Amino acid sequence: MKKSTLLFTLIAIFVSSGLFISNAYAQKPLPAKTTKQGLEFTIYPNTKNTDPSRPKQGDIVTFSVEVRNFKDSILQKNQNVDAYKLQKYAKVSTPNGKNDSIQDKFFEIFASLGKGDSAVVKEPTNNLLKEQEEFINKKINEMQAQMANIINDKTIPDSSRTQYIAYLQDNIKKMDLEKNKPNPMLPKDKHIFYYFKMKSFADEVSFNKDAERRKSELEKQKKELQMVQIKKEETEITQYLTKNNLLKNAKKTPSGLYYIITQEGKGEQATAGKEVAVNYKGELLNGKVFDTSIETEAKKANLNQGGRTYEPIKFNLGAGMVIKGWDEGIALLKKGGKATLIIPSPLAYGERGAGGDIPANSVLRFDVELVEIK
C-alpha cells in the first residue's frame, strides 16, 4: 500500500503522461472549501449514490487522479490508484531516534468523498516547491550524516574514504543545484490542479479480505482458461504422437502433460525440494530445435549459442524455477531416467511465448535425462 505523504507531490513534479478525465464533473458542485494546508477543493457529488458513509482514518481508498498545471498541461494520470492508506496524523520513528509527524494533505478531501464523488483541488505551486525543497534537504542531511560517519570510521582504508567522501560531496552539490533550479512546470506563485474521482474505500481488514477474494477469483479464471487451452491443444498433441509412433507408450497426467519414459532410471526418485541436474533438448512440434544442453545436438540443429557452456541444467525441483511442465515431468523420473515430455502451452510459456524462438501458445517437446539428484 502506498503510504508516502509525497505520493502526489513527487508524481506531479517528476512524471509526464496522461489522458483527459471526460465528464466526471458534470454534477452540480457543493460550495468550495479550503483545507488547513491551503488546498482549495470543490466536490461534485455522485447523485446516484445514496450511501452516506465516508472514508476515515486508516481506510484504504481507490480512485482515479489527473494532475494538471496552470497551463492546463497534463502532468500525471492514473485511472486507478490502488491501496492508498489515509492517515491524518501519525508519529514515525526515524533512524536518528527522533519522531517526525506525517500529515496527509489530502486526508480532509478524501474524508469528504463518497463512492463515485469527484473533486477538483487547487494547490499553490509554492506548496509543492517547498515540499520539493524539504525533500531534497532531507536527502542532503542524510548524505552529510553518512559522510560524518565515514570520516570517523577508522576501519575504512584512506583511499576508499577519500573516494566515497568525494562521491557524497559531488551528490550534495548536485542536489543543492537542483533545489535552486527553476522548475518550468511549476513556476512560483501559480497553481496546480488535481482531479479526483473516488472509486471505493474500506477498512484495512475488509480491503485485504476483498483483495484475497479477487485474487482467488482471478486465479480460478486463469486456471479455467488454461484448461480450455489445454483441451484445445490435445488434438494437436495426439496427432503429433500418432504421426511419430509415440501414442502407444504415451501417458497423460491430470494436468494435461504427456510423457513417454524412454529409459527407466535405477537411482532415487526425483522429489520436490531436491536439486536436480538435467540434460535436455527442446523443440517445437514442427521439429525446430530452440534449445539444448548437449553440444552435439546444438551442432546438429545449427544452433548459434556462442559462448555457452554445454552441461546439465541445475535447479531446485518444485520451486518454480522452471516451467510447470518440467517441475511435473522431471518428478516422474528416477536418477538416470530418460523421457520425452509433450507440454501444452499453459504448462510452458503460455500466451506470452518466449523470445523469438517460441511463439505464443506453443506446445513443446523436451527430450530429458535426469543426470543427478542432490
DSSP H/E element including 125: helix 125-152
| Residue 280 annotated among the catalytic residues of the structure | yes
Q: Which of 197, 169, 177 has the alpha carbon at shortest distance from 81?
A: 197
Amino acid letter, residue 167: Y
**Is 323 known to be catalytic?**
yes
Query: pLDDT at residue 311 above 50?
Result: yes
Q: Which residue among the candidates 44, 196, 349, 373 is catalytic per the annotation?
A: 349
Q: 36 and 167, same structural domain?
A: yes
Ramachandran bin of 141, using left for φ above 0, alpha for ψ from -120 to 50, beta for the remaining angles: alpha
Whether 269 and 194 map to the same domain: the answer is no
Rounded CA gap, 13 and 187, in Å?
A: 11
What is the rounded (10 degree) CA torsion for 179, 180, 182, 186? Answer: 40
> Residue 55 pLDDT > 60, yes or no?
yes
Domain identity same for 198 and 243: no
Q: Which residues contact 95 (CB under 8 A, 6 or more apart)?
A: none
| In-domain check, residue 122 | yes
Contacts of 136-144 with CB under 8 Å at 24 or more apart are: 136/175, 136/178, 136/179, 137/179, 139/175, 140/172, 140/175, 140/176, 143/168, 143/171, 143/172, 143/175, 144/168, 144/172
For residue 71, give the CATH number of its domain: 3.10.50.40
The pTM of this model reads 0.56
- Lowest-confidence segment of 128-142, 229-243, 329-343 by average pLDDT: 128-142
Catalytic residue among 59, 104, 291, 327: 291
Q: Are residues 193 and 306 in the same domain?
A: no
The parent domain of residue 335 ranges over 232-373
Residues 283 and 366 in one domain: yes
Measured between alpha carbons, how far is residue 304 from residues 282, 314, 321 in Å?
A: 15, 22, 24
In three-state secondary structure terms, 16 is coil
Q: Are 166 and 245 within one domain?
A: no
Residue 290 annotated to the active site: yes
The mean pLDDT of the chain is: 87
135 labelled catalytic: no
- Given a cut of 50, is residue 216 above it in pLDDT? yes
Checking if the pLDDT of 121 tops 90, the result is yes
User: Of the listed 25, 70, 135, 290, which one is catalytic?
Assistant: 290
Same domain, 360 and 238: yes
Active site residue 366: yes
If asked whether residues 248 and 190 sit together in one domain, one would say no
Distance between CA atoms of 241 and 247, rounded to whole angstroms? 5
Residue 89 confidence (pLDDT): 55
Do 169 and 150 meet the contact criterion of CB atoms below 8 Å apart?
A: no
Predicted confidence at residue 182, as pLDDT, reads 84
Please write the tens of the pLDDT for every residue from 127-169. Answer: 888 888 888 999 999 999 999 999 988 888 888 889 999 999 9
Number of domains in the chain: 2
Between 191 and 88, the more confident residue is 191
Task: Answer yes or no: 240 catalytic.
Answer: no
Which listed residue (323, 330, 343, 358) is catalytic?
323
